[in-house]
Amino acid sequence: MYYEPGNIPHGLKHDPFKSCVVPRPIGWISTVDADGNHNLAPYSQFQNVTFNPPIVMFASNQDSRGGRKDSVRNAEQVGEFVWNMATWDLREAVNISAQELPPEVDEFELAGLEKAPSRLVKPMRVKRSPIQFECKYLNTLRFPGNGPMGSADVVFGKVVAIHIADEVLDADGLVDIVKVRPIARMGYFEYTSVDSKFSMVIPGDQRALLGGLEGSPDKVSMELNKS
């Protein structure tokens, strides 16, 4: 089949676009507003952008009334946000925290989640989540879109602190991702979770390239200093 979004209809019962960009990691974003109201919401339009320094982004559409979402407003207002790893064990809490609610409703409480204070930023961390990034807000890119929800605010933040639970580090100091079991969004109301993995290395033994692939600034500099 072939279609052109907004031009030639797909003719299917459900729009296939989001089910083609899969699996999407979930940015489970915690923020706080200037009055101290805590907020937590999942964003599957989430990614790391670069690694030195580490920068992440989440893309927020507008809410059903066409307004900017709490996570965006709070990140801009306070200049900080936290990313929490969404896991299989926490899937129900992730889902509960996605409800569209007034800013004064604390989704940590709604989902029965204990908060953990951050070290360098004001927003709280999800204590049970095995990995969290403390982020300083950088900027927002706004993409105008169609209908009340179409416009997107893409929020970028620099990762200034990273927490990883010792239990999910293996004997070699690698994050044991199958043990973490992240959940990821697919299309429709479908999700997947990471319960297997495989490795492969770019051929050619180009060490700086491999350092970049690993996301290790130290290895990149070491290799480039050799030449």
Ligand X SMILES: Cc1cc2nc3c(=O)[nH]c(=O)nc-3n(C[C@H](O)[C@H](O)[C@H](O)COP(=O)(O)O)c2cc1C
Q: What are phi and psi of 207, to 5 degrees?
A: -65, -40
Please say which residue, 44 or 132, places its beta carbon nearer to ligand X. Answer: 44
Q: What angle do CA 82, 85, 86 make, to 5 degrees?
A: 120
Q: Strands, E, within the chain: which ranges?
A: 24-25, 27-32, 38-43, 46-51, 54-61, 80-84, 115-116, 125-126, 131-143, 152-164, 183-185, 191-193
Residues of span 131-170 touching ligand X by CB under 6 A: none
**61 binds ligand X per the rule CB under 6 A:** yes
**110 binds ligand X per the rule CB under 6 A:** no
- Whose CA is closest to 84, among 163, 186, 193, 3? 163
Burial class, 169, CB count within 10 angstroms (exposed 0-12 / middle 13-18 / buried 19+): middle
Near ligand X by CB under 6 A: residue from 30, 43, 126, 168: 43
Minimum gap (Å) between residue 147 Cβ and ligand X: 13
**106 binds ligand X per the rule CB under 6 A:** no
Minimum gap (Å) between residue 122 Cβ and ligand X: 16
Near ligand X by CB under 6 A: residue from 30, 32, 33, 69: 69
Query: Is there a contact between 86 and 171 (Cβ–Cβ < 8 Å)?
Result: no
Minimum gap (Å) between residue 134 Cβ and ligand X: 18
**185 binds ligand X per the rule CB under 6 A:** yes
Minimum gap (Å) between residue 65 Cβ and ligand X: 11
Site residues, ligand X (CB under 6 A): 26, 39, 41-45, 59-61, 69-71, 95, 98-100, 185
